[in-house]
A and B are shown apart, each in its own frame.
Chain A
Amino acid sequence: MSRVVEVPASFDDRSFEQFAASFSAGPVTDRMVFDARPAQWASPFGLVGMLTAGQAIKEAGGARPDFTVPAADEVRRYWARTGFFQHAAEFFDLHGKVPRLKPDEQSDVLLDVTPVRASEDVHAVVGKLQAGAARILTHELGIDAKATMGFAMALSEACQNIVEHAGTGGWVAVHAYTFRRRLGRRVVVIAVSDAGVGFRRSLEVTQARRFGDRWGDGAALEAAVIQNVSRFRDPGRGQGIAGIKRYLGRWNGKLSIRSGTARIAIVPEWDDDVPMTEHLAPFPGAQLQIVIPAQESTGG
């Protein structure tokens, strides 16, 4: 019998914890069915998170899982426009009607779901975003045209974490949407996820001794995000996340990274998230989210 992994009806970085708990309720090699029928909406974080789960099952040699697509037609169409189903078919047996749509260049999808496996993928992602994102970033979010470079830079550094540290491939997606519940304004969201070794294993050799008994997923995230530590001894390393934080500071943005059983966040004043959460349900690899809100003067 298959174990059911529930896909939250509204799937963002917060409801991701329901998904992670459901996913990790048994061994990754269990026969599983991902039930997305009740889904009404998914952020890019949710979409790349589902692909990461599928990738982790495949890489662990688990049985190919089933995936029931959302019941709502408009949700299916949106997920199709993001490129989700195209990549999901690599890991899941899809059940239900999957629309065949091309990505819509005028939609809020700044970057459809895109695999990141190597340095060339980062070049492609950055080029593609710059070509299409200026309209949304400048006109909808009120971000200075020059600062779109900074946005692309943050995206580049986020994607490079996969190439440099994950030990396997990952996914990136960038969408704009209205963040009604917490902010009441338009936001643009970068979501990056991989099924790799995670921050704790990546940093263990160089950092575990320094943290002693405190060492774990939370300490590893603290080392990487707060102390800008890298697994490489090269003194130039660790500047990627530092650069992302610098950019977010200027645009009042938010960074959160989940790895293993912990999650760290750099929280702006408009959000009520907590800086560190530990003892979460385990989930493979690392998941990073960057949120840039519309600047106040634009009204969003």
Chain B
Amino acid sequence: MTQTIRVDQLLREAVQGPYCDLVTRSTGRAVRTSIQQRLASRPGSLALIDFSEVGLVDFSCADEVIAKLLLDPPTETIIVLQGLREEQLEAIEHVLEHHALAALVHDAASGAARMVGRVSPDLRTAFFTLQRTGPASVQALADRIGWAADRAEAALLALVRLRLARTGSEGFVVPLAPEPLSP
């Protein structure tokens, strides 16, 4: 099940004013707490955190909302950030780098998710391969890339730990993947 959480609505509740900017740590804490409560009350496989009606995102607030949410997620839900503008994404990438974290961002043009933040080349390769070719077991992914199975397993488990992929009945899968390419 997918749920969409509109950050602008939570922001208005948090600051009780007409502001649309995600600034200050106290605001960030309030918004993150609201997101965590939503995720806990409606657990699902995927949550789209929607920034499309948000104005400025400053570094402190990005740290409180995004970094701390990813460091301490309340459920197994995979989180995808959507509706981000370039300058908002810049602040978020800055804090992800600071914490050595990675996040998924919905790319409006392709409809797929992409990784931002600190991601190793192996994780990037594994993610792109799952995205392009569809769900896979450890061995299937290793075969597709030409890796040893233990290397593929390490990359896949890291993707799951970072909530960038999940395990399903078909194996490891990434969210918002387009139709896989034909072999």
Contacts and interface: CB of A to CB of B under 8 A. Distances in A.
A and B: interacting chains:
yes
Given A153-B91, A239-B94, A123 B21 contact: yes
Interface in B145-179: none
Nearest to A239: B59
B68 to A, nearest CB: 7
B56 A160 contact: no
Interface in A245-287: 246
Q: How large is the interface on A (under 10, 10 to 19, 20 to 34, 35 or more residues)?
A: 20 to 34
A49 interface: no
Contacts of B90: 150
A119 B27 contact: yes
Contacts of A122: 23-24
A82 interface: no
A29 interface: no
A240 interface: yes
Contact of A157 (B15, B20, B59, B67): B59
B55 A130 contact: yes
A248 B26 CA distance: 25
Nearest to A153: B58
A243 B59 contact: yes
Given A156-B24, A157-B59, A164-B25, A239 B95 contact: yes
Given A164-B25, A236-B99, A157 B64 contact: no
B95 A236 contact: yes
Contacts of B99: 235-236
A122 B55 CA distance: 14
Given A123-B17, A163-B24, A246 B94 contact: yes
A153 B88 CA distance: 10
A240 B56 CA distance: 14
Interface in A105-146: 119-120, 122-124, 126-127, 130, 146
A138 to B, nearest CB: 14
A149 B87 contact: yes
B63 interface: yes
A152 interface: yes
A240 B23 CA distance: 11
Residue of B15, B21, B55 with most partner-chain A CB within 10 A: B21
A157 B94 contact: no
B15 A153 contact: no
Q: How large is the interface on B (under 10, 10 to 19, 20 to 34, 35 or more residues)?
A: 20 to 34
A242 interface: yes
A124 B19 CA distance: 8
Nearest to A236: B63
A157 B60 contact: yes
Contacts of A126: 19, 21, 23, 56, 58
A160 B24 contact: yes
A131 B178 CA distance: 40
B86 A156 contact: no
B60 A240 contact: yes
Contacts of B20: 127
Contacts of A156: 21, 23-24, 56, 58, 60
A150 B90 CA distance: 10
Residue of B15, B18, B58, B90 with most partner-chain A CB within 10 A: B58
A150 B64 contact: no
B15 A120 contact: yes
A147 B90 CA distance: 11
Contacts of B19: 123-124, 126-127
B144 interface: no
B60 A127 contact: no
Interface string B48-71: 000000011111100110011000
Contact of B17 (A120, A130, A246): A120
Contacts of A150: 87, 90
27 contacts: A119-B25, A119-B27, A120-B17, A122-B24, A123-B19, A123-B27, A124-B19, A127-B19, A149-B56, A150-B90, A153-B57, A153-B59, A153-B91, A156-B24, A156-B56, A156-B60, A157-B59, A160-B23, A160-B60, A163-B24, A164-B25, A236-B64, A236-B95, A237-B63, A239-B59, A239-B60, A239-B63
Given A123-B15, A157-B59, A236-B64, 13 more contacts: A119-B24, A123-B17, A123-B23, A124-B19, A126-B23, A146-B86, A153-B59, A156-B21, A236-B63, A239-B98, A240-B59, A240-B60, A242-B59
Give 7 closest A-B pairs by Cβ, nearest first. A243-B59, A149-B87, A236-B63, A119-B24, A123-B19, A156-B58, A119-B26
